[in-house]
A and B are shown apart, each in its own frame.
Chain A
Amino acid sequence: KAGVTQTPRYLIKTRGQQVTLSCSPISGHRSVSWYQQTPGQGLQFLFEYFSETQRNKGNFPGRFSGRQFSNSRSEMNVSTLELGDSALYLCASSRNRGREEKLFFGSGTQLSVL
């Protein structure tokens, strides 16, 4: 069974550009969450999607957005990139929502903003 797949693995952008990251959850998983990992702030929750609807959102500016498709694949978009957006972006999936659900994480997309 394939795990959570994130593409691309590495990305280099310049300030002001926009970027789209992709996440394919484990087959049968309907919940997808996104996290940002930086050395200074650690791991922070961005948003969660379930059945194509955003269910929960972290404390990030509106430049960060996402969506989920009918096949549960998810994308996140960051517009007007800033240097501080350089981070490892992790996607996690679970079969359903709820405290008993186990999250499976992808290897992440390493974004560098120059």
Chain B
Amino acid sequence: GDSVTQMEGPVTLSEEAFLTINCTYTATGYPSLFWYVQYPGEGLQLLLKATKADDKGSNKGFEATYRKETTSFHLEKGSVQVSDSAVYFCALLTTGANNLFFGTGTRLTVIP
């Protein structure tokens, strides 16, 4: 079945450090891939997405590239800020379905 495997957390980084959160997926067909972010006490917000192989999604300094050959969609940011502290979820939407499959989430804490 369809699934998403996400890097276990928590991740603690100093401000301005480089961030990578790994995400790999298993799916039939050609899924769309997403990164969502959840700030404390809030619902999920779409951070970025990619709908086909080699697409790069980017937003707020974050980026992720849809790699079909490695079935991966790793999230990266060159310089994190304290305000980036949140839980990050990788997700996929398979062809024909209208529901998201989420990874387990990775809690990021950025310290000044």
B interface bracket (residues with beta carbon within 8 Å of A) = 20 to 34
Cross-chain contact B89 with A31 (CB below 8 angstroms): no
Within 8 A of A (CB), among B5-48: 32, 36, 41-46
Given A42-B103, A42-B104, A43-B105, are A97 and B98 neighbors across the interface (CB < 8 Å)?
A: yes
Cross-chain contact A45 with B43 (CB below 8 angstroms): no
- Bitwise interface map of B from 45 to 77 toward A, beta carbon under 8 Å scored 1, else 0: 110000100000000000000000000000000
- Which residues of chain A come closer than 8 Å to B80, judged between CB atoms? none
B99 at the binding interface (Cβ < 8 Å):
yes
Number of interface residues of A (CB under 8 A): 25
Nearest B-chain residue to A57, judged by Cβ: B99
Using CB atoms and an 8 Å cutoff, list the residues of chain A in contact with chain B.
4, 31, 33, 35, 42-45, 48, 50, 55-56, 58, 90, 92, 97-100, 102-103, 105-108
Using CB atoms and an 8 Å cutoff, list the residues of chain B in contact with chain A.
32, 36, 41-46, 51, 89, 91, 93, 95, 97-105
A42-B102, A97-B98 given; 9 more Cβ-contact pairs under 8 Å: A4-B43, A33-B99, A43-B91, A43-B102, A48-B98, A56-B97, A98-B98, A103-B46, A105-B45
